[in-house]
């Protein structure tokens, strides 16, 4: 399987995974509007909520990474700019995943 077909399959899998996770997150965001800070800490202290949030963040970032990579590869002509942009994209995605993980770990423990 070549690179483009595997990226296409990953994009579709992550899109399908994001559907229920997005509904779960939006529903809870509506509930958050009536909550205070302690309620939010209590929400994220739950292992299931923290796990679902981490899964949603990771899947969303992977989905957006592949989408942005496709756009960059298709529309950026300069090889040098393409390489730099893809590197910055990957660095940003992995940094945000790390920050999300660290945030949830700090709240749980």
CATH number at 8 reads 1.20.1300.10
Q: How many domains does the chain have?
A: 1
Mean pLDDT over 21-32 rounds to: 95
Q: What is the pLDDT of residues 60-93, one digit of tens each?
A: 999 999 999 999 999 999 999 999 999 999 999 9
Comparing CA positions, the residue from 97, 104, 18, 101 lying closest to residue 58 is: 97
Domain that holds residue 10: 3-108
Q: Encoding tokens for residue 14?
A: 């992550």
- Are the beta carbons of 18 and 63 closer than 8 angstroms? yes
């Amino acid at each position: 399987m070549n690179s483009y077909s595997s990226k296409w399959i990953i994009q579709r899998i992550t899109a399908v995974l994001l559907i229920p996770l997005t509904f779960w997150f939006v529903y809870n965001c509506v509930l958050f509007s009536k909550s205070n800070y302690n309620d939010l800490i209590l929400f994220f202290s739950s292992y299931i909520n923290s796990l679902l949030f981490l899964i949603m963040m990771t899947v969303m970032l992977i989905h957006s990474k592949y989408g942005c990579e496709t756009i960059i590869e298709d529309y950026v002509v300069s090889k040098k700019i393409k390489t730099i942009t893809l590197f910055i994209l990957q660095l940003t995605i992995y940094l945000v995943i790390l920050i999300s993980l660290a945030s949830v770990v700090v709240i749980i423990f």
